[in-house]
Amino acid sequence: MMFALFSLIQKQRHKYGWLCLTLILLTVSGVQAQVGAGGIPFSFQRNLPDAVPTVQMPQVDVAIYLAEDANVSKDEPFRFGAPIEVHYTLENSGQWTTLPDGSRIWRLRISSPGAYSINLLYDAFYLPEGAELFLYNDRQTQVIGAFTSANNWIDGTGATQPLAGDATTLEYFEPASVAGHGRISISRVVHAYRNVFGYRNHLDDYGDSGTCNNNVNCPEGLPWQNEKRSVALIIDQGFRLCTGSLINNTSNNFTPYFLTANHCIESSDETHWVFVFNYESPGCDNQNVPTNQTVSNAILRSTNAASDFALLQLSTNIPEAYHPYFNGWSRIDTPSTNSCAIHHPEGDIKKISFDNNPTTSDRYLGSSGVAGSHWKITTWDDGTTEGGSSGSPLFDQNHRIIGQLHGGYAACGNTLSDWYGKFAMSWAYGTSASTRLRDWLDPANTGVWTLDGIDPTVAGRIGGVVVDPYGDPLSGVRVHVIDSTQETTTNALGEYMLALPSGTFHLEFTKFGYQHMVQNNVTVVQNDTVWVNVVMAAVPAGILAGTVTTQDGTPLQNASVFISGTPYDTMQTDEYGHFFVELPATSYSVHVLFSAATNPPLNVRTDTTLTVLPGDTTHATVILYISLIEPAGPDAYGYRAYDRYDRDLPAPYDWIELDPSFGAPGMPFSFTASDSSAILTAPFPLTFYGGSSDTLTVNANGWLLPGIHRETGSVNSPIPYNAGNDPAGIIAPFWDRMQVGLGNQQFTWYDSRFHRWILEFTAQRVLNPTNRLQNWQVHFLDPVFYPTRTGDCEILFIYSRMDHLTDCTIGIENPNEQSGLQLLYNSALNTTCWPIEDGAAIRFTTGRSSESGGVTVSLTLYPAAPDLSGATIFMAGCAITANAENAFVHESVPAVSAAAMLFFAGYEAARISGIPVQPNVMNQAAMEAWRLDPPSQLYASQYDGIVTLSWRKPESILAAPNPDARYAVYRNGTRIAQSLADTVFTDEVQPNGQEATYRVVTQYRYGVSAPSDSVHLVIDLAADENISALPAVYALHPAYPNPFNPSATLAYDLPRAGRVSINLYNVNGQRVATLVDNVQAAGFYHVMWNAAGQPSGMYLAVFESGGHRFVQKMLLLK
């Protein structure tokens, strides 16, 4: 709102912060700023009772307040008044007088003896339509109002400014039609014990800023008379002061944008600000000036602490009576040759300061914040800045804003420096409209680097609306005055307005994708607006579908694509190297840049011309010639590492989400502690550096080893490395000291469709700092379907998040520790590699063959199958089916060390590897497979709760012995034994009366049979089970199960009482457990051993009693 503000502001004691007063100013306001409606209080014109009820405030002990103030440090708020909490309302105080027409007047006088002034705060303030409120002092020399419904503020509270003297009268008029609707509740009376406003001493307290300052209307300020009109004093909540400036935007539409400092709005409600314009002495000397040209309330549009700027939009347009000016700006990051500042130091009248030397690019105070974020004024040549100057504009030699005051040490009497947040950094340093200037000050994205100021008080205007042929408004149309720098853009409603002097002008209307329009001979008349409405039709357009690739045809992701002559920002290509944009049909200059943090850094650019056809999609490929397209390696074995952009076999970024919380199929696995390992069973043989394993050791520190291993490796080392205890033959997607139990997750899944085994690691935290997260996957590709020259697996590392690469190793190592591929070690990137970053991928392979040879596979089945039409042998990525003679022949198989796998319903999926396929000849291979027959003739017997099972070998094994076949036993659906070579099994003792159903399956090397027929029985102990039945001999029965994981049961018989010991030893003869060591009575016993803490391997159970000694082997398989 606009209101009659007190005329003088007291000096503050804190440099560059907010100027602090305890006064809260008038903040009642509507959506638009308003002045008091004027007029004369009713009681000044009519005869009303002279006596007005008075409430007197308690005595203020000024001495105590002054004593407290004497101890206040300079960086604390300056206090001028004593707050007195009250509760006076229209209902509980004052006096109502009813007029003949039914209207009413309420009056209340508030007295606080000895006060220089009194001001009031309201916790409820609402004036209905037609109601008026005046306030005046006893001598009626100062009257404010009338306040009306236009002064109601959104939160229902308010305040009124100080009135001179020690008594204030409120006079509220309420029409009969709205009787009882008004709300006035006074919550605080402020007794001014300091004469900060000079109410009794004229100018004695006026002009308290430093004496070296220049009034803006002194001769040195004459060249800056336009710019000064934009600068305003900011008063927040009545006790904090800053400075700021109106600022122009490329639409030249007088939007009341206001630039100030970020630290001026911290922890503040900018909707309760008051902006005081033209608070300046009319001449060079200090002269009393009015402070009634104000606007209250604003919206915060953007702010950023890096350059300490805040951009506000005032709640209303600036009245022409204020003669506002909207300053121009420059976002060129080049030092000015000289500088000028216009500001309100210490809340004083407007001052102007000059520096005749170039500014210096610096960080705040020379040591704080972002480098290059501020302009440094080394020393002021004329004038200075003080508290309250914060946020004031810094102008260059062209009268354009280049920054706003953040802070510094300058003052009268010294030659110290000030720092201004750079407009150039504020322009686009932020990542969104709320943290940068460009979205607001260049709404049409014209891209201009400088903009001059604009004066809305010139002679006349041109305005209008621009629409398309359907009548829909067109926003962002550039309206330019030909042969002039004057231009604007249309708003969301298609409207525009240009301020111009009298004369005749030619206008052009341009918008990307629309016809170019010109309107000639538009005459502008003084104090008038001429309207020019325009219809613009869209021009034919097409789609440009581009692809950016290397010279090898590999798509380049995150290449920057800029198309000249368009309003579009620079585009980034997607993972396929694609970019898409709709453009008017014509030719364009296209600029493509690709950069990467390689060693050394890579920057490649090309420029080309592409033509877009109307109503069609133009497909175009832009090729960047990149030198870094060769893989790392080979190492001594033949492995190479391919990045995303390497030629021949680029690694695809193929992240397959496994987390079940996202509906993915992964199975979780975990680590028990830091530096611990999980042992996983591979879905196919893992062939790595010529070795093969069905298991994989996965360590919590980000490395893997085929097979079962107990090595630890918390401290990463180079690859290769054989001088320490680091794991040999490591696969290291991210080898670092990692933490567990802090949200890290691991999943595994076999993708049977694409024949790859995927391990996923997410939220992996390094030991320090723990807030850096890494996400990666490892893909093992089955050589049957992805052939390599040596028959080894291809391995892919996929990275979706990489936050900390300082202390890790990435690569693979030969188990002989003599060779390998190191891509990264402790931040040092292999010079042939692309950066390990989000979206990176690496393929390790021994290569593929471009040659081929023929293969004939001899397939032997047990038992033989008369019809092989349903059988398929996959070999080296080729599918081979039986021909009419039941022969498996393929004429073109890659010339590699091939692996093959059989798919034939009912038979095991037999595999062979190491098939040497020679080029250009017919090669021979042989395979055999057994039908997946289950055991037959399952029989069960029991004695005293002990069940013994026996069965007949499967028919396929009877046809031909299978040395790899084993058996697994299930009781009531639970597997109780596996990997049994014999066809007889004795179960452990079961409780009397328990029902048991047994089945047996055959475990072939490459598959498992269906279950055998079942046998069902009820456990029946001997009828004389309560009579001691003693064994006849000493015995140690076979352990059950065996092999086991992690527990097994040992049963033993004692024909007579005596000492018994059972000890467990590893293969090195070390005793690892004692199960029994005491005297026992004769009888049947059993004891369980839990080997959870022991590694996999062979163990010996030694039973000793009565001079007898029995030894039994036990195999622990984890």
Residues annotated as catalytic (active site), given as ranges: 263, 308, 390
Q: Is the peptide bond before 256 cis (omega within 30 degrees of 0)?
A: no
Find all residues with CB under 8 Å of 533, minimum gap 6, and list them. 464, 465, 466, 467
Question: Buried b / exposed e across 838-860, counting CB within 10 Å, b at 16+?
Answer: ebbbbbbbbbbbeebbbbebebe
Count CB-CB contacts under 10 A for residue 615.
Answer: 9
* Whether 266 contacts 408, CB under 8 Å: no
- Look up residue 854 and give its amino acid: G
Q: How far is CA 888 from CA 445, 864, 876, 877, in A?
A: 68, 15, 14, 15
d(CA 273, CA 296): 5
- Look up residue 73 and give its amino acid: S
- Look up residue 131 and give its amino acid: A
Find all residues with CB under 8 Å of 1048, minimum gap 6, and list them. 1039, 1040, 1041, 1042, 1088, 1089, 1091, 1114
What single DSSP character describes residue 1044? B
d(CA 250, CA 277): 23
Count CB-CB contacts under 10 A for residue 182.
Answer: 21
Find all residues with CB under 8 Å of 727, minimum gap 6, and list them. 699, 703, 705, 709, 711, 712, 713
638 torsion bin: left (phi>0), alpha (psi -120 to 50), beta (else): left
d(CA 601, CA 130): 73
Question: Buried b / exposed e across 934-970, counting CB within 10 Å, b at 16+?
Answer: bbeebebebeebbbebbbebbebbebeebeebbbbbb
* CB hemisphere CA count around 1049 (13 angstroms): 11
832 torsion bin: left (phi>0), alpha (psi -120 to 50), beta (else): alpha
d(CA 551, CA 754): 29
What single DSSP character describes residue 318? P
**Residues forming beta bridges with residue 817, ordered by sequence position:** none
Which H, E and C letters describe 595-656, residue by residue? Answer: EECCCCCEEEEEEEEEECCCCCEEEEEEEECCCCCCCECCCCCCCEEECCCCCCCCCCCCCC
Find all residues with CB under 8 Å of 938, minimum gap 6, and list them. 949, 950, 951, 998, 999, 1000, 1012, 1013, 1014, 1015
Which DSSP string corresponds to 836-896? --TT-EEEEE----S-EEEEEEEEEEES--S--TT-EEEETTEEEEB-TTS-EEEEEEESS
What single DSSP character describes residue 58? P
Positive or negative: CA dihedral 850, 856, 862, 866: positive
